[in-house]
């Protein structure tokens, strides 16, 4: 398994490097999150051994189980839908949240972090494709919500996360995401991350301005 993961990781790094060169970026400026949902502890430990430090989980209970049983320094990113009744678990075990999209859940996360004297990093999820089936705030509401999040003592606003659709509008939605992020930066310069791009479209995302990608299958193989 280790040899397979090493091969996959090296191949991924090569593709990241090629994508960054086309837009005069440094590959080291791309923040890679290995999406490890439904993957075993063994997979994660091997990924650690080959140099991966950031892991993304979609489910609160799975995040808790893994965080309790993995030794060594790992940065955990919660990238799934946020539920109020899971706020305590997420606040305790996640270092980052990528799916903050409403005041109620922001309040809950902030309160839970305050109880354990912790500051959590957060990206606001924006529904850039305006699809009813996707979570995220409307782009027009970003600055108001960002101001609300930025006012919280125990949440550190780090940027935005988007999920452009994979159809013909993919590139346009990525370009719109970049413009929206640049607008956010004018008011919140510390919100420097544009979390955009997955296994299916990370090359295009990097070329479109992303500096944080979430990749699973290309590292761990198909689930």
* Alpha carbon distance, N-terminus to C-terminus of the chain: 14
pLDDT at 16: 96
| Tokens found for residue 81 | 């839908």
Q: What is the pTM of this model?
A: 0.95
pLDDT at 129: 87
pLDDT at 53: 95
| Tokens found for residue 47 | 């990924």
Query: What are the residue boundaries of the structural domains of the chain, listed by start?
Result: 2-220
With beta carbons less than 8 A apart as the criterion, state whether 194 and 159 touch: yes
Q: Which residues of the chain have pLDDT under 50?
A: none
* Cβ atoms < 10 Å from Cβ of 168: 7
pLDDT at 223: 66
pLDDT at 167: 81
pLDDT at 192: 97
Architecture of the structural domain at 2-220: Alpha-Beta Barrel (3.20)
User: Between 142-150 and 103-115, two packed helices, what is the crossing angle to 10 degrees?
Assistant: 20
Sequence-ordered list of residues with C-beta below 8 angstroms from that of 144, at least 6 positions apart, any chain: none
């Amino acid at each position: 398994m280790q040899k397979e993961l090493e091969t996959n990781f090296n191949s991924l790094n090569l593709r990241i490097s090629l994508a960054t060169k086309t837009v005069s970026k440094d590959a080291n400026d791309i923040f890679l999150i290995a999406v490890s949902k439904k993957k075993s502890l063994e997979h994660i430990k091997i990924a650690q051994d080959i140099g991966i430090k950031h892991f993304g989980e979609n489910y609160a209970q799975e995040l808790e189980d893994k965080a309790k049983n993995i030794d060594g320094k790992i940065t955990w990113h919660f990238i799934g839908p946020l539920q109020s009744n899971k706020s305590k678990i997420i606040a305790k075990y996640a270092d980052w949240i990528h799916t903050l999209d409403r005041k109620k859940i922001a309040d809950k996360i902030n309160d839970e972090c305050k109880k354990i004297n912790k500051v959590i990093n957060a990206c606001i999820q924006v529904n850039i494709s305006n699809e009813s089936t996707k979570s995220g705030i409307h782009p027009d509401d970003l600055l108001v919500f960002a101001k609300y999040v930025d006012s919280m003592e125990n949440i550190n606003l780090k940027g935005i996360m988007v999920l452009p659709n994979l159809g013909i509008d993919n590139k346009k939605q990525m370009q719109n995401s970049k413009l929206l992020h640049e607008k956010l930066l004018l008011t919140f310069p510390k919100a420097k991350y544009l979390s955009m791009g997955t296994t299916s479209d990370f090359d295009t995302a990097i070329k479109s301005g992303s500096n944080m990608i979430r990749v699973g299958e290309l590292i761990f193989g198909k689930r």
